[in-house]
Amino acid sequence: MFFSDRRVRGARACARRAHRPVARVMVAATVIMGFATAVARPAAAAPLDDPFIGGLSFTGPTSGNLAAVYWNPAALGLVRGLQIMVGGTAHLSTIDVQRASIDPMTGIPGGSQATGNATADGFARPSLFGPRSYLAISSDLGGDRFTLAFATFMPWVEQVSYPLSAAGDEPTRYHALKVDLRNLALVPALAIRFGNELRVGLAPGFMFSTGQLSFAEDLGLNAGAGAENPEAAARFNVASGHGLGDAKFSVTLGGGIYWRRRNLELGLAYQSRPIGSDRGVEVSGQRSSATLPPLAGGGPVSCAAGQTDRCVFGDLSYKLPDVFIAGATWRLSPGLELSAMVRWLWMHVHDRIDVRLFGPTLDTYGLPQHIVFYRGFKDVWDTRVRVSYWWREQLRIGAAMRVETSAVPTDAVNPAAVDALKLEPMALIEIRIARRIWLSGGYGITFMPSVDVTNSVFKPEYASGCFEAGGNLATEACQARLDGRARPTANGRYTATRQDFGMTLTTRF
């Protein structure tokens, strides 16, 4: 957000030039917005990923603001004085699920039993130390050699909640009723200048993971009670609470390089997955609960002396990706900049969510104690191009385009993970509202086509087949059950919409 004296002099010079660069920016913004609106429809972001860490503003691996703690710690060397940044991004989103009909006895798609439709929508607001918020402070220690910073944010978060039904027949129940996975990062960072134009940054992180996963488990196929029968479904709510004391702890590592040569700036950064654990992050579900199927009497699982509170405990584990970020900025003329960047998210490591349940009477009631949710994600490429223009050091305007590949293969799309190729045009603005205070904001709308799943990887016949095979892991059905694919089908049509609104406030002393 704040530049060296050389860049400030450039901004002043641009005010004395003709207004032609401004016109170029406006034409580029119009083309970007019009193209995106014509080719697709609104959509949501990839599961787990927050694409706007630091707010929806002028961020990236070559941007000299406090969001560099994530985007490129080396770029912190461009930040001058003592600065404080508070940012947040809100979004208005909708996920619409239209499931295909099934056979009432086998659960295979194409039968006469309607499964219904469901819609999850809402307005998600940022909260301090919560999802979609960013808080950072930095100091250059009175010179240009070292810059220290500290930031807190949630780089990985997934939240979706479907409406509940009194009859227990929610269309999404076997894949998700509520998903709320949070990973809070507390990150100190250091940037060091070598020579005149080279800077290196380091940002070790401390991650605190919490979560909640609510779902139903179809026990009817194994018992011969028919497919997707609400009367034969157990319900589980694996929850940790979202306080810092409820979280499981892990460590990450980040670093980056920044280099400038005349009008060209280059940045390269890396953010690691949690280090030292093959299971990835863990969520301790000390606030979990289980409910018996109505055919088994219904009601919460009880323990000694009829105790139902704190009778069932759970544990979630899943893997987070490594992230590689590269970008460049060209100063085309005084005040006019063109930036491009790409993020490579190693989402392929996130293949499942592993659920372990503990309770002295779970086995007595015939309830499963190990449940796997197949994810099968693939790597994501997030590319962005941005053009921006400074006007008299008081105002900066910009337009950007983000293109992101899908994290979820089409056949693995389900109510808990809806994704496809996305385009997101964005409009950005930054204003100096006082001598030491800057306010920036942005708006983005994401576009993608609806996803039609006709051959879901989730097949209910795997559950019955493994039961008939006596749990023999040499069979294909039991291998699928081990992978988490022996669940009711997710065939159907999925539509997601999302609009993002961001704002960031920065003070400089």
Q: Please check the confidence at residue 19 and state whether its pLDDT lies above 80.
A: no
Q: Which two tokens stand for residue 230?
A: 């609400």
User: 246 and 214 in contact (C-beta within 8 Å)?
Assistant: no
Rounded to whole angstroms, how far apart are CA atoms 107 and 120?
24
Can you give the pLDDT at residue 18? 36
Can you give the pLDDT at residue 123? 83
Q: What is the 3-state secondary structure (H, E, C) of 324-375?
A: EEEEEEEEEECCEEEEEEEEEECHHHCCEEEEEEECCCCCCCCCCCEEEEEC
Q: Please check the confidence at residue 1 and state whether its pLDDT lies above 70.
A: no
Q: Please check the confidence at residue 90 and state whether its pLDDT lies above 50.
A: yes
Can you give the pLDDT at residue 277? 79
DSSP summary character for residue 419: -
Can you give the pLDDT at residue 165? 93
Average pLDDT over the chain, rounded to whole?
89
Rounded to whole angstroms, how far apart are CA atoms 73 and 64?
10
Please report whether residue 478 resides in a domain. Answer: no
Q: Please check the confidence at residue 24 and state whether its pLDDT lies above 50.
A: no
Can you give the pLDDT at residue 12? 41
Residues 6+ apart with CB under 8 A from 297: none
* CATH assignment of the domain containing 98: 2.40.160.60
Can you give the pLDDT at residue 308? 66
Q: Which two tokens stand for residue 110?
A: 């194409």
Helices 460-468 and 476-483, packing angle to 10 deg: 120
Which domain covers residue 365, as residue numbers? 5-394+405-456+491-508
Q: Please check the confidence at residue 396 and state whether its pLDDT lies above 60.
A: yes
Q: Is pLDDT larger for residue 125 or for residue 44?
A: 125
- Mean pLDDT in residue range 73-100: 95
Q: For residue range 337-375, what is the model confidence (pLDDT) as tens digits?
A: 999 999 999 999 999 999 999 998 898 888 999 999 999
Residues 6+ apart with CB under 8 A from 154: 50, 130, 131, 132, 133, 182, 183, 184, 185
Q: Please check the confidence at residue 440 and state whether its pLDDT lies above 90.
A: yes
User: 7 and 400 in contact (C-beta within 8 Å)?
Assistant: no
Can you give the pLDDT at residue 111? 86
Q: pLDDT band at residue 224, thresholds of 50, 70 and 90?
A: low
Residues 6+ apart with CB under 8 A from 51: 45, 382, 402, 404
Can you give the pLDDT at residue 226? 72
Q: For residue range 462-488, what is the model confidence (pLDDT) as tens digits?
A: 988 898 888 899 999 999 999 999 999
Q: Which amino acid is at 187?
A: V
Q: Please check the confidence at residue 126 and state whether its pLDDT lies above 50.
A: yes
Residues 6+ apart with CB under 8 A from 197: 259, 260, 261
Q: In angstroms, how far is CA 97 from the centroid of its own chain?
A: 20
Can you give the pLDDT at residue 225? 66
Nearest to 184 by CA among 123, 245, 138: 245
- Mean pLDDT in residue range 77-81: 94
Please report whether residue 297 resides in a domain. Answer: yes
- Mean pLDDT in residue range 490-498: 95
Q: Please check the confidence at residue 16 and state whether its pLDDT lies above 90.
A: no
Q: Please check the confidence at residue 4 and state whether its pLDDT lies above 60.
A: no
User: 448 and 423 in contact (C-beta within 8 Å)?
Assistant: yes
Number of domains in the chain: 1
Q: Is 355 exposed, middle or buried (0-12, 13-18, 19+ CB in 10 A)?
A: buried
Which stretches of 53-197 are assigned E, i.e. beta strand?
Answer: 82-99, 117-124, 133-139, 146-161, 178-194
Backbone angles phi, psi at 482, to 5 degrees: -65, -35
Please report whether residue 399 resides in a domain. Answer: no
Please report whether residue 469 resides in a domain. Answer: no
pTM above 0.85, yes or no: yes
Q: For residue range 295-343, what is the model confidence (pLDDT) as tens digits?
A: 888 899 988 776 767 789 999 999 999 999 999 999 999 899 999 999 9
Total Cβ atoms within 10 A of residue 265: 25
- Mean pLDDT in residue range 276-303: 90
Share of the chain above pLDDT 90, in %: 74
Q: Please check the confidence at residue 135 and state whether its pLDDT lies above 70.
A: yes
Can you give the pLDDT at residue 45? 57
The Cα-based distances of 472 to 161, 220, 488 in angstroms read: 35, 20, 21
Question: Which sign does the torsion angle of CA 163, 167, 170, 175 carry?
Answer: positive
Q: Which two tokens stand for residue 467?
A: 């039961």
DSSP summary character for residue 28: H
- Mean pLDDT in residue range 83-90: 95
Can you give the pLDDT at residue 351? 95
Share of the chain above pLDDT 70, in %: 90
Can you give the pLDDT at residue 38? 34
Please report whether residue 265 resides in a domain. Answer: yes
User: 292 and 301 in contact (C-beta within 8 Å)?
Assistant: yes
Q: Is pLDDT larger for residue 193 or for residue 393?
A: 193
DSSP summary character for residue 102: B
Q: Please check the confidence at residue 21 and state whether its pLDDT lies above 80.
A: no
Nearest to 71 by CA among 139, 8, 134, 10: 134
User: 236 and 258 in contact (C-beta within 8 Å)?
Assistant: no
**Coil, helix or strand for 43?**
coil
Backbone angles phi, psi at 142, to 5 degrees: 80, 10
Please report whether residue 330 resides in a domain. Answer: yes
Please report whether residue 473 resides in a domain. Answer: no
Q: For residue range 109-124, what is the model confidence (pLDDT) as tens digits?
A: 998 889 999 999 878 8
Q: Which amino acid is at 130?
A: G
Question: Which sign does the torsion angle of CA 223, 225, 231, 234 carry?
Answer: positive
Please report whether residue 477 resides in a domain. Answer: no
